[in-house]
Amino acid sequence: MAGQKTTEDTSDEKSIYKFEVTDITGNPFSLAQFKGKKVMIVNTASKCGLTSQYEILQELYENYKDSGFEIIGFPANNFLRQEPGTDEKIASFCQKNYGVSFPMMSKISVKGKKQHELYKYLTSKDLNGIMDSKVKWNFQKYLIDESGTLVKVISPKTKPNDQEVIDWLESSN
């Protein structure tokens, strides 16, 4: 973020809006484009016992995308090397097997020494101002409110369309 910050954008310091990531085709992708929307951030893998959650994620996205909801998938190879493919292979797999149309990002590390800055933010109360967490496995979900603030962490084994998630999606801020 070049230049001086105004008082208007200081709220972005504790939000996801300050992050720019790389999408699965190699293009810059600013999370600020989701201001005013609820967002689910999920780390994904193509060779995991939970990979079928892609189907549920896609259904959830189709059902709620017109109501101010976004899903952002982040492929990661941090758990038993269950995402070994290139971005191109991952994109092809997601499209062919699950018809994924929600935004998918370039493969990142969600834990450890090479942890991506966004995941450092999501897992550190010092950075997000809300809570500490650990990425336990593939398909862990982070719920972000309309102001870009972390609201809740959803277990990898909890399905994306769990009633708790639906209740959050259908609630007004």
Q: At what angle do helices 53-64 and 87-98 cross, to 10 degrees?
A: 70
Span 21-167 CATH architecture: 3-Layer(aba) Sandwich (3.40)
What is the mean pLDDT of the segment spanning 99-112?
Answer: 97
Coil/strand/helix, residue 20: strand
pLDDT of residue 13: 76
Residue boundaries of the structural domains of the chain = 21-167
Is 48 labeled as catalytic in the residue annotation?
Answer: yes
Instruction: Write the CB contacts of 171 (distance below 8 Å, at least 6 apart in sequence).
Output: none
DSSP state letters, 90-128: HHHHHHHHH---S-BBPPB--SSTT--HHHHHHH-HHHH
Confidence band for 145, pLDDT divided at 50, 70 and 90: very high
Q: What is the mean pLDDT of the chain?
A: 92
Tell me the pTM: 0.91
Catalytic pick from 48, 50, 127, 130? 48
Number of CB atoms found within 10 A of residue 19's CB: 17
- Residue whose C-alpha is closest to residue 137's, from 121, 151, 116, 153: 153
